[in-house]
A and B are shown apart, each in its own frame.
Chain A
Amino acid sequence: MNPLIFTTILMTVLLGTMIVMMSSHWLMIWIGFEMNLLAIIPILMKKYNPRTMEASTKYFLTQATASMLLMMAIIINLMHSGQWTITKVFNPTASIIMTSALAMKLGLTPFHFWVPEVTQGISLTSGLILLTWQKLAPMSILYQISPSINLNILLTMAVLSILVGGWGGLNQTQLRKIMAYSSIAHMGWMTAVLVYNPTLTMLNMLIYIMMTLTMFMLFIHSSSTTTLSLSHTWNKTPLTTTLILITLLSMGGLPPLSGFMPKWMIIQELTKNNSIILPTLMAIMALLNLYFYMRLTYSTSLTMFPSTNNMKMKWQFETKRITLLPPLIVMSSLLLPLTPMLSILD
């Protein structure tokens, strides 16, 4: 794509999310979402083939439906409260519709079906933007309307997302689908604690974005989109196998890596609010996630997977640039002792 046009489109995506995050008028928020959606379609379709067309169409349809539902909720809110400012949504109907719309945008169960298919159909870099940047805008709206969200619906969606994210990823070998299911599960964790302490949602979002960014950077570096091709990294750059191991274990939420921090804080917050069975269930279902991460580490770092003889020569031809990888890796694995600093997120 022409670099100027690509920059413009990327800036529009950024601008769309920024508008969503910084507006106080509901209409501007909707405009921001639409801008974001329309501008990201060309980015999703960077390679022009039927698979990306299908993925972009699916993305467009679901997100447009969600935007329309959002608009309906906004109008109902306008009818009942008479103003366009973003505060908590007073009317329960509008609140439920808005929660569903934002859940559709985020990819929470039962609206999660588009996430694996869209992520699989697009390139790794576009998948990266899809799974990290696109989550910021809906999450910021959820943060702002959090006092008025119906707890039953949100918690049901969250728990089901963790379950679906864990279970769905078990049968996958394609890395993008694995990352998609991992995204569904993490969104579940984030929304579970939204009503109790939205700061922790932001913390989880931050750490999730760091870890997903790291994972995608590592995948892009080894140009691998399947488990099989990832398992050849020990031939090319053995160091990345260690990095993949550490980041995957961090995503699985194992102490002492930083992926444990959001889970621990969320469990703490939920327990303080006297729900004990819920965090136990969530924690145990997160083990499903850990299982398929472990499977990835088994084929990548902990064994030397069989490969053909000329695999060892591939390192001479891999010259992809990886931006920001070392600090990302450090942040996605070693941040746990800095947990008291999360008060700055307030």
Chain B
Amino acid sequence: MLKIIIPTIMLMPLTWLSKKNMIWINTTTYSLLISLISLSLLNQPSNNSLNFSLMFFSDPLSAPLLVLTTWLLPLMLMASQHHLSKEPLIRKKLYITMLTMLQTFLIMTFTATELISFYILFEATLVPTLIIITRWGNQTERLNAGLYFLFYTLMGSLPLLVALISIQNLTGSLNFLLIQYWNQALPDSWSNIFLWLACMMAFMVKMPLYGLHLWLPKAHVEAPIAGSMVLAAILLKLGGYGMLRITTMLNPQTSFMAYPFLMLSLWGMIMTSSICLRQTDLKSLIAYSSVSHMALVIVAVLIQTPWSYMGATALMIAHGLTSSMLFCLANSNYERTHSRTMILARGLQTLLPLMAAWWLLASLTNLALPPSINLIGELFVVMSSFSWSNITIILMGTNITITALYSLYMLITTQRGKYTHHINSIKPSFTRENALMALHMTPLLLLSLNPKIILGFTY
């Protein structure tokens, strides 16, 4: 694992020592190379995990997330080039350093064995993200957004720290490799109910669960493009990954403790999808759609069946790529019109046809069109929740319909129709932007050919 971590750390001296005209080239190239190294982890030989050392390991759940993380860094760098072009050199280097630091922490989080080390790195990802949102966001609301982001997450995760330490006292070790062999059922008592709550709330806030999701639209909307990309694609998945890891230790309370959260998620996904239909702000629409998709993941993780775990993992990867791509598309609009209002820049198909093709593909994958991996994820979740309780099919079906509605609404508003007269002087799409969209879309399409690498450890 050090073969990925040390090159990522070394990206920081690389940025600081590069010349002015080489910083973007150097960092993007080397981060692409690092993502190539991480691809080798996808080859998981058996049902067991690949243990690299006492501190790092990778199993079929964390390997796809790791590959997604390393894949996203060059994409973030490519996306940020325009809005940083006018900043002084030192600030550009600082930005890239923040992104690289975040990347290092994320890689270490996904591969940590010891749960306390996972916790420390989970919290550590907050600091660079906060700095990216607050320092380089564009509107005054970013200050509030940073505070909401930081405090919601910290409020949820401090009980997690106490819970992890008390589990360590009970079972002797928090090393994940040991726990999977040593698992014993938690006795039924009030304090174990609170333990369950303490363990799960941190990840519920991060996912986010419907009632605790207030930080997400603020943070996603106010963050610069790289911040939005990494938030939507990876940081939300940290919550899902944490939940998937920690529910193995929390039986049998999950069978009854999960009900409130299941209800909130099932209702919340319909609520947030419906809100998307009434949004005027493009980034806000994509942010709420993230909440809706993540609610599906929460449902999948809480019902704890093999198929639902497969669906959760696939949905996380698929949503990561799709959501990140949508944010890049929204950003390409924002860079041209400096506004996030959807109707200000409509009818773009006439002006930027190639970008319209990317918009189409992104919207189609967002609404889970077959045979994309989005569909595989959603389908597995819908099927397993149907087997858990037949009535959920109504809610899930409604959600899929409304998702299709708002994805098409977004597509039609921005692409179709007559263009407004004030945008006929926008710059044509840059090759960089087209490359960015292609690099998002290609893994998504290719994975539909071999989805078993993202189906997680219950395949």
A residues contacting B by CB (< 8 A) are 245, 249, 254-257, 260, 264, 267-268, 271-272, 276, 279-280, 283-284, 287, 290-291, 294, 298, 301-303, 336
Enumerate the 6 nearest inter-chain pairs by beta-carbon distance, A residue then B residue, closest first.
A283-B158, A256-B124, A255-B123, A302-B134, A271-B165, A255-B120
Known: A260-B120, A284-B158. 12 other contacts (CB 8 A): A255-B119, A255-B123, A256-B105, A257-B127, A271-B162, A272-B169, A276-B191, A280-B159, A284-B155, A298-B146, A301-B135, A336-B120
How far apart sit A284 and B131, CA to CA, in the bound complex (Å)? 22
Provide the B365-378 mask, 1 if CB < 8 A to any CB of A, else 0. 00000000000000
CB distance from A245 to the nearest CB of B (A): 8
Within 8 Å of chain A (Cβ to Cβ): is B212? no
Complex interface: chain B residues within 8 A of A280 (CB): 158-159, 162, 198
A283 touches B161 (CB 8 A): yes
A-B contact count (CB 8 A): 72
Complex interface: chain A residues within 8 A of B166 (CB): 271, 276
How far apart sit A336 and B117, CA to CA, in the bound complex (Å)? 11
Within 8 Å of chain A (Cβ to Cβ): is B151? yes
How far apart sit A309 and B89, CA to CA, in the bound complex (Å)? 23
B165 touches A268 (CB 8 A): yes
Within 8 Å of chain A (Cβ to Cβ): is B219? no
Complex interface: chain A residues within 8 A of B131 (CB): 245, 302
Within 8 Å of chain A (Cβ to Cβ): is B143? yes
Provide the B127-163 mask, 1 if CB < 8 A to any CB of A, else 0. 1000100110000000100110011001100110110
Within 8 Å of chain A (Cβ to Cβ): is B202? no
B124 touches A294 (CB 8 A): no
Within 8 Å of chain A (Cβ to Cβ): is B126? yes
A267/B124 contact (C-beta < 8 A), A290-B154, A291-B151 known: no
Within 8 Å of chain A (Cβ to Cβ): is B121? yes
B residues contacting A by CB (< 8 A) are 105, 119-121, 123-124, 126-127, 131, 134-135, 143, 146-147, 150-151, 154-155, 158-159, 161-162, 165-166, 169, 191, 194, 198
CB distance from A280 to the nearest CB of B (A): 5
Closest to B122 in A: A255
A249 touches B127 (CB 8 A): yes
How far apart sit A340 and B198, CA to CA, in the bound complex (Å)? 26
Complex interface: chain B residues within 8 A of A257 (CB): 127
B161 touches A254 (CB 8 A): no
CB distance from B199 to the nearest CB of A (A): 13
B147 touches A264 (CB 8 A): no
A302/B135 contact (C-beta < 8 A), A267-B162, A284-B155, A294-B150 known: yes
B126 touches A256 (CB 8 A): no
Interchain residue pairs with CB less than 8 A apart (16) = A245-B131, A249-B127, A256-B123, A267-B161, A272-B165, A283-B159, A283-B162, A284-B155, A287-B151, A287-B154, A290-B150, A294-B147, A298-B143, A302-B146, A303-B134, A303-B143
Closest to B136 in A: A302
Interface centre among B126, B146, B166 (most CB of A within 10 A): B166
How far apart sit A287 and B152, CA to CA, in the bound complex (Å)? 11
How far apart sit A149 and B166, CA to CA, in the bound complex (Å)? 26
Complex interface: chain A residues within 8 A of B135 (CB): 301-303
Closest to B158 in A: A283
How far apart sit A256 and B121, CA to CA, in the bound complex (Å)? 7
CB distance from B366 to the nearest CB of A (A): 33
Complex interface: chain A residues within 8 A of B159 (CB): 280, 283
How far apart sit A329 and B429, CA to CA, in the bound complex (Å)? 45
